Structure 1
Amino acid sequence: MKQVQIGPGGPMVSCLGIGAMSFAEFYGPTTEENSYAILAEAMDQGVTHIDTSNVYGMGRSEKAIGQFFKQRPEARDHFHVATKAGISRDADGNRKYDNSAEHLEAELDKSLALMGLDCVDLFYVHRREAERPIEEVTQSLVGLQEKGKIKAFGFSEIAPSSLRRARTVAPVAAVQSEYSLSTRFVEMGLVQTCAELGTTLVAFSPVGRSLLTDDPLSKDVIPSLPFLGTNPRFIEPNYDVNLRLTQPLRDLAAELGEPTAALAIAWLVSRGDHVLPIPGTRSVSHFRDLVRGTQITLTPDVLARIDEILPIGWAYGDRYTEDQWIGPERFC
């Protein structure tokens, strides 16, 4: 499988990773055994990067990964492990962000314990605390490196300007952001800044939270999912329109004899050697469709047809609600 470098001078990993939010029932019910099966398939397919967070199921995702490592000790050397911290709750249970050195280290210690690790390969600040200078946060992350608890660090959903500020303190290995045929705002500065600085762009939701697959989530299921149940792109009348607009992509994939998810992944891989998609799934067969995307080279003609079918800005509805927008940095 094609490889991607994690940050300046960093290790090489597979050009497709696993987004482990699905291990915590974000998109519907699952079991630890199902998560183990996906991790085992990833090992068989040569997928080496796994991306999780302390808040995915409040530790459930990390626990599943840790239990798999206990069952398969060789898996720890196979996987490049990334996790995140920085999202917290106040006394009333309201979401808040804490990028203090003390909070990040305390949450990291819990993650290491759940996964049975001495250190993680990559540690992100999950959401930037706006009031705290990013230079201070970056220095705290350097401190965790010096303690040997993390090998590299990054940020999730920050603006290019924040990345440049962080880089004045130390190299930033990765920035995680939503990026797909559904969501292309990152092409207005973040893709380019990451390439310039040698920072890996880790692309979450690369198949549009199921919209860019052969089997988009059922309208009957969506209301039961806390995030998507209120998400503008997945509520009516937007969802019906988005299903209709993505049907030509499914038709093109069928014409090419490929899964639609594979086409979406292949498109994203074509965006740059520094782009790393991390799709999540609860299905081994769907995971194989995603891996297939790394094996396809899209011709200029097919790329042009994809752009014609889904031009920039085609989706109805914002990618987040106003509440969901609290935390990610808007920059365009």
Structure 2
Amino acid sequence: MHTCSIGLFSVSAVGLGCMNFCHGYGSGATPQQAQAVLHAALEAGVTLFDTAALYGFGASESLVGPILQPHRDRIVLASKGGMAGVRGADGVLRRVIDGSPQALRQNCEDSLRRLGTDVIDLYYLHRWDPRVPIEESVGAMARLVQEGKVRALGLSEVGVDTLRRAHREHPIAALQSEYSLWTRNAELGTLAACRELGIAYVAFSPLGRGFLPGQLQDVTQLLASDMRSSMPRFAPETYARNLQLLAPMQVLAAQAGCSLAELAIAWVLHQGEHVVALPGTTRVDHLLEDVRGGSIQLSPTVLAGLDALFQPQAIAGDRYGLQAQREVDTEKYAFEQTGR
């Protein structure tokens, strides 16, 4: 598996997202399962591990921190602030987006404590808070760098204009956004802007939230706690239309001599030397399959076939519902709002 640059860091082209252990996809993993996946990733050469204050309202950080601590000198540890659990007057934890300097500092201090480390290698603004100028949020994060609490800064799910404004305030090492054959908003501008500015593009959900490997056939069985159950693309009728893409994709996978999951990872990494794939999983066999995808070279014929098959207009349904769309600064949403 080759490596990619994120700021001053050199990381494995395939990293490991640690959300799945306790957030987003239903039942998650037991601590023993998570530990097995983390150890397998280390043995397979994965050097980028990504978590966030939001994931399990801190549970992911508390889980991965002690396991990764003995390996801190050979890995890049990433986390995110600006979107975390806040306990209301009723005692219930709720997700809150808050990009104020005070919140970001508190989020960072909490993450350092849960992770059991003195410094976070790569610290992201999880979501841009439109109530706070991006310069103000990034400026607060830059002070964390100056204080030695954070080594490099990243942003998540922002568009080109926001990215450029942030980068002028302080160098941005990475932009993390969803990118896969199934979700190609990056090609509307952010992928090229990252290349121009020397920013790594960290592609989360490169397997289309479990769609592209072809193993999820019946979405009616998704748990109510699984975030996909509320996503338009995973509505039963819509998902059935999308499943029709997998048979021709399987033909291309056979030509490449790999599985659907390996093909999806390989395609993402073929989109630029500045692109890092960040899949998440609770299973060791799936992790190893993802890692293998990082070493596969695709022919021009296979790449052209995938591009033709997964044109955006061929995908049924939006990736987010309206509320979640309002929380991301993507070019698609900006275009729909402004008509530009």
Which bracket does the TM-score occupy, shorter chain normalised?
A: over 0.9
Q: Which amino acid aligns with 2:74?
A: H
Deviations 1:143-184 (A, max 9, x none): 000111000011111111011111212211111110000010
- Conserved 8 A contact 2:178-2:204: yes
Matching residue of 1:208: 208
Task: Indicate which of 9, 13, 16 corresponds to 2:14.
Answer: 16
In structure 1, runs of 5+ residues without a counterpart are none
Shift in Å, 1:13:
0.6
Deviations 1:32-84 (A, max 9, x none): 111111111111111100111111111111111123135xx1x2222200000
- Which is further off, 216-225 or 16-25? 216-225
CA distance in 2 between counterparts of 1:38 and 1:134 reads 35
- Which is further off, 312-321 or 147-156? 312-321
**Alpha-carbon distance change, 112 to 90 in structure 1, aligned in 2, over 3 angstroms:** closer
Tell me if 1:83 matches 2:112.
no
Q: Which amino acid aligns with 2:221?
A: V
Shift in Å, 1:314:
1.9
CA distance in 1 between counterparts of 2:299 and 2:293 reads 13
- Conserved 8 A contact 2:83-2:95: yes
CA distance in 1 between counterparts of 2:327 and 2:55 reads 16
- Which is further off, 98-107 or 24-33? 24-33
CA distance in 2 between counterparts of 1:268 and 1:186 reads 11
Q: Equivalences for 1:60-209 in 2 at 5 Å?
A: 60-69=59-68, 73=70, 75-88=71-84, 89=86, 91=88, 95-209=95-209
- Which is further off, 153-162 or 253-262? 253-262
CA distance in 2 between counterparts of 1:227 and 1:69 reads 27
CA distance in 2 between counterparts of 1:288 and 1:69 reads 18
Deviations 1:108-147 (A, max 9, x none): 1111111110010000010111021111111111100011
| Structure 1 vs Structure 2 CA RMSD | 1.7
- Conserved 8 A contact 2:256-2:298: no
Matching residue of 1:242: 242
Q: Normalising to structure 1: TM-score of the pair? A: 0.94
Q: Which amino acid aligns with 1:42?
A: A
**Alpha-carbon distance change, 116 to 217 in structure 1, aligned in 2, over 3 angstroms:** farther
Matching residue of 1:42: 41
Partner SS, residue 23 of structure 1:
coil
Matching residue of 2:53: 54
**Alpha-carbon distance change, 217 to 85 in structure 1, aligned in 2, over 3 angstroms:** farther
CA distance in 1 between counterparts of 2:57 and 2:222 reads 21
**Alpha-carbon distance change, 90 to 158 in structure 1, aligned in 2, over 3 angstroms:** farther
Q: Equivalences for 1:275-294 in 2 at 5 Å?
A: 275-294=275-294
Q: Which amino acid aligns with 2:101?
A: A
**Alpha-carbon distance change, 189 to 105 in structure 1, aligned in 2, over 3 angstroms:** same
In structure 2, runs of 5+ residues without a counterpart are 333-340
Q: Which amino acid aligns with 1:22?
A: N
Q: Normalising to structure 2: TM-score of the pair? A: 0.92
CA distance in 1 between counterparts of 2:94 and 2:290 reads 35
- Identity across matched positions, percent: 38
Q: How many residues are paired up?
A: 327
Matching residue of 2:338: none
Partner SS, residue 244 of structure 2:
helix
**Alpha-carbon distance change, 162 to 25 in structure 1, aligned in 2, over 3 angstroms:** closer
Matching residue of 1:302: 302
- Conserved 8 A contact 2:233-2:317: yes
- Conserved 8 A contact 1:213-1:250: no
CA distance in 1 between counterparts of 2:221 and 2:251 reads 24
Shift in Å, 1:292:
1.0
- Conserved 8 A contact 1:50-1:82: yes
Shift in Å, 1:197:
0.7
- Conserved 8 A contact 2:201-2:275: yes
- Conserved 8 A contact 1:210-1:217: no
- Conserved 8 A contact 1:86-1:127: yes
**Alpha-carbon distance change, 224 to 188 in structure 1, aligned in 2, over 3 angstroms:** same
**Alpha-carbon distance change, 26 to 95 in structure 1, aligned in 2, over 3 angstroms:** closer
- Conserved 8 A contact 1:120-1:149: yes
Partner SS, residue 180 of structure 2:
coil
Deviations 1:253-291 (A, max 9, x none): 245431111000100000001111100011111111111
- Conserved 8 A contact 1:160-1:193: yes
Shift in Å, 1:313:
3.0
CA distance in 1 between counterparts of 2:52 and 2:59 reads 9
Deviations 1:208-243 (A, max 9, x none): 011110312642432433411110000121011111
Q: Which amino acid aligns with 1:18?
A: L
CA distance in 1 between counterparts of 2:273 and 2:171 reads 18
Q: Which amino acid aligns with 1:249?
A: M
